[in-house]
A = this chain, B = another copy of it.
Amino acid sequence: MAGRVTSVDVAARAGVSRSAVSRCFTPGASIAPETRRKVTEAAKALGYRPNAIARSLIAGRSRMIAVVVGYMQNQFYPDLLDRLARELQARGYHLLLFAASPEGDSDALFPQILAYQADGIILASATLSSALADECNAAGIPVVLINRTTDGTGVSSVTADNVNGARAVADFLLAGGHRRFAYVAGTAASSTNQDREAAFRGRLAEAGIGEVLREDGGYSQEGAAEAARRLLTRRDRPDAVFCANDHMAIAFMDAARHALGLRIPQDVSVVGYDDVGPARWPSYALTSVEQPVEAMVDIAASALLDRIEGRETAARIARVPGALVVRSSARRPAAGIMTIDGRDVWTP
């Protein structure tokens, strides 16, 4: 039962005071080399580790970050979580994971996050209500939103540059010679969906395309498959479809091919957003705007820890650019594609 060893035991064995033991484990504390040696030795012999819980109590900081995720089927979120856990670990923090129901029991999470004295909170979901973010913010807990923004002030957010990303998609499809467009939407209330949709439509409108068909896929694969059925059986079938994310785009492609017998991109071009792992799988070879997980996590972690550790007090709004990665799910324009690091990228 090495777990029950306290600093008193170590102090006794090393023949010093508890303070000395404490100092030995406190970076930058003043302690004589000889004392340190004795303590270290005793600690090792006893299997002693300072109790982080007790430490938190004193410090008033737990070094734990609450991370709330919603939908784990979309590979973007597992990737995010993985990077987040590593990044926080590397910075000496730990990740307390909360799974939120899509509906919004997320309010029940607030007391728990508070109770555990989380030093900060990361909300990683396009669809979660902003109520939780606002509550935490009001309670003085630094908040970072990933993949969505909110109107509330004081809340940091890290998103892709959805506006430029969606514009690039429009340009790309126009350059490919498409004329009849459709958009498969995610949850309408999410800022990410709104930004992507508005920018896509806006750019098309500038090019003189007023009509863009629309179906709601609600960020789900079932929704996207249903959207495909509806859109692609119309007489005036669209020849280019932009799905609000890859997760839907994949289901859309499958429905188009396997349920409807269409060829991609000959019969219809499909573009997604996120550039998740499955987009690279040869069966899909999905053209998609990347959402650079690593950069987003770095920024989110820095924004959060800068506030927690008092280096910064203002909320930070970051928009991270991502390349439009060209594969074969959409007709390739004759020009404007460059190969960078072995990846075909749209650079008009």
Interchain CB contact under 8 A, A82 and B72? yes
Pick the interface stretch among A93-101, A123-131, A174-182: A93-101
**In the complex, what residues of B have CB within 8 A of residue A229's CB?**
none
Residues of B within 8 A of A116 (CB): 52-53, 94
Size category, A interface = 35 or more
Query: How many chain copies does the complex carry?
Result: 2
A99 near B85 with CB under 8 A, answer: yes
A277 at the interface (CB under 8 A from B): yes
A47 at the interface (CB under 8 A from B): yes
A82 touches B99 (CB 8 A): yes
The answer to the question of A340 belonging to the interface, with a C-beta cut-off of 8 Å to chain B, is: no
The docked-state distance in angstroms from the alpha carbon of A62 to that of B57 is 13
Q: In the complex the two chains form, what is the Cα distance from A170 to B117 in whole Å?
A: 52
From B75, B99, B111, B277, A86 is in contact (CB under 8 Å) with B99
Q: Given A78-B78, A81-B97 in contact, is the A115-B51 Cβ separation under 8 Å?
A: yes
> Is A22's CB within 8 Å of the partner chain B?
no
Q: Are A115 and B57 in contact (CB under 8 A)?
A: no
Q: Is A233 an interface residue, CB under 8 A from the partner?
A: no
- A258 in the interface, Cβ–Cβ < 8 Å? yes
CB of A141 within 8 A of CB of B3, answer yes
A2 pairs with B117, CB closer than 8 A = no
Given A50-B115, A114-B49, A116-B52, A140:B73 Cβ within 8 A: no
The answer to whether B2 and A138 have CB atoms under 8 Å apart is yes
The answer for the CA separation of A278 and B276 in the assembled complex, in Å, is 13
| Interface membership of A56, Cβ < 8 A | yes
Specify which chain B residues have a CB less than 8 angstroms from the CB of A77 in the assembled complex. Answer: 78
Give the residue among A2, A277, A283 with the most B Cβ atoms within 10 A.
A283
Which B residues are in CB contact (< 8 Å) with A1?
Answer: 139-140
Q: Are A3 and B283 in contact (CB under 8 A)?
A: no
Contacts of A53 on B, CB cut-off 8 Å? 53, 56-57, 62, 116-117
Nearest-Cβ distance from residue A67 to partner chain B, whole angstroms: 8
Residues facing B in A297-317 (CB within 8 A) are: none
Shortest Cβ distance from A63 into chain B, in angstroms? Answer: 9
Q: A57-B57, A75-B75 known; A2 and B94 CB under 8 Å?
A: no
Chain B residue with Cβ nearest A136: B3
Chain A interfacial positions (CB closer than 8 Å to B)? 1-4, 47, 49-54, 56-57, 62, 64, 67, 69, 72-73, 75, 77-79, 81-82, 85-86, 89, 94-99, 111-112, 114-117, 138-141, 250-251, 253-255, 257-259, 277-278, 281-284
- 28 A-B pairs with CB atoms under 8 Å apart are A2-B139, A2-B140, A4-B140, A50-B115, A52-B115, A53-B53, A53-B56, A53-B117, A57-B57, A69-B82, A72-B78, A78-B81, A81-B99, A86-B99, A89-B99, A94-B116, A95-B98, A96-B96, A97-B97, A250-B281, A251-B281, A254-B281, A254-B282, A254-B283, A258-B282, A258-B283, A259-B282, A283-B283
